[in-house]
Amino acid sequence: MATRIPDNAARFRLAEVAELTGGALVGADREVAGVITDSRRAAAETLFVALRGETHDAHRFLPQVAEAGGAALVEKGAACPEGLARVEVEDTLVALGALGHAWRERFAGRVVAITGSAGKTSTKELAAAGLSGAGVSALATEGNLNNRVGVPMTLLTLGDAHEVAVIEAGTSEPGEIATLGAMIAPEIAVVTLVAAAHTQGIGTVEDVFVEKTDLLRARIEGGVGIVNGDDERLRRCEGVRRYGFAEDADVRVLGWRMDGPRTVARYRLGERELEASLQLVGEAAALNGAGALAVAQALGVDLEAFCRGMGELAPVAGRMTPRPAGEALVLDDSYNANPSSVLLALRTAARVAEARGGRLLAVLGDMKELGALSEAKHREVRAEADARAARAFFVGPEMAAVGDALEDLELDALLAAIGPLAAGDVVLVKGSRSMALERVVEALVAREEAAA
């Protein structure tokens, strides 16, 4: 389900909007409060941004905006109702970014931006939870609002009550991180991983490296760069702080263990050691916690309180969420997948199964948007699953192209193949968002709970 764009109360005069966006004001100048992209929220004081896409054109909703008494940001040549106060621009998406950046420039607090092929959302959420625990008022990107619409709309929600903004940036095409980075202008920029993700749109993994590290180049003067020091490509970055398991990491993961459903991670920052008891599961949780701690260190907040705050973060649905299933455990990592995140999930799930004294079973779906790398990466993931899991099941046409798999998700057939689960068993379920493997999670949990 798409994340709802949060409301904002950003104030501009229409003449100012025209200046910021390079547009032309048509009608009388007046103040607007609240930038919106949904015409259903139009009111007398709002500014509606009419966005165009491949399959939609929001200019068709301008009559409703005019009827509500609102103003609009429109593209030149668009048909507009008579009397609609508006600013006409070449591209409303670019103009929205300009407004988001302008509002960020008015923000007196500190700005953190996070990107990466995997781990960016969990690192963002851990950072926000940690800051809350440390008594810092932080605004964080909601859900997956990490694109050229979500980022400026998030920036526009910044207010006087916020001390820190933690903004997530995503990409699916070359140049997107550079665009978002310029918009965010972060003081602290974090890159969590460079891996084969979105290679269909971006190119090679080296191209992904260039794309992701554009965020480091977007830092304001005197800003701090933070990277995953376990990533061989990111280790090439100079003038940055590193986190990870590597001995030379500025924030080092000393180890992690499972304590019931929690992950207890130990960290070293210089001469100081800290421990965090996280509700998230496994190696990825410990690593993402280190990334969040590096942010906390750069911000200069109370690190012990920050660790306690990270422990308050509940698992996000579909992101390595532990789901009891009778006496077994399902690890729901169905939200998304790329090769690196699948390999990490398999390592973590194997550790969890070992700690529970049960088998590891893996249900893995297609990893989308890999382009020319798809066949090799699906073979690599299948081989790792076969090596680590007692039994592995594969779903999707790309998995089927390189070995035995259910080309389409047939729940009854898959559940029958998995068979009954025993006490201590762990089932990892992971695939790209379009595979909708959360259906497998729900069916397994329901079946095992009913049989318990």
User: Which residues have C-beta within 8 Å of that of residue 50, sequence separation ≥ 6?
Assistant: 57, 58, 59, 61, 62, 72, 73, 74, 75, 78, 92
| C-alpha span between 78 and 129 (Å, rounded) | 44
- Structural domains of the chain in order of their starting residue, each with its CATH number: 11-89 (3.40.1390.10), 107-310 (3.40.1190.10), 321-451 (3.90.190.20)
User: Residues 141, 144, 146, 147: what is their CA dihedral angle, to the nearest 10 degrees?
Assistant: -140
Helices (H), 244-373: 282-299, 303-310, 339-356
pLDDT of the chain, 452 residues: tens digit per residue? 578 999 999 999 999 999 999 999 999 999 999 999 999 999 999 999 999 988 899 999 999 999 999 999 999 999 999 999 999 999 999 999 999 999 999 999 999 999 999 899 999 999 999 999 999 999 999 988 999 999 999 999 999 999 999 999 999 899 999 999 999 999 999 999 998 765 666 878 899 999 999 999 999 999 999 999 999 999 999 999 999 999 999 999 999 998 888 999 999 999 999 999 999 998 999 999 999 999 999 999 999 999 999 999 998 889 899 999 999 999 999 998 989 889 999 999 999 999 899 999 999 999 998 988 899 999 999 999 999 999 999 999 999 999 999 998 899 999 999 999 999 999 999 999 999 999 999 999 999 999 87
Q: Which structure tokens are listed for 188?
A: 């602290």
Q: Are 406 and 413 in contact (CB under 8 A)?
A: yes
User: For 125, phi and psi rounded to 5 degrees?
Assistant: -65, -40
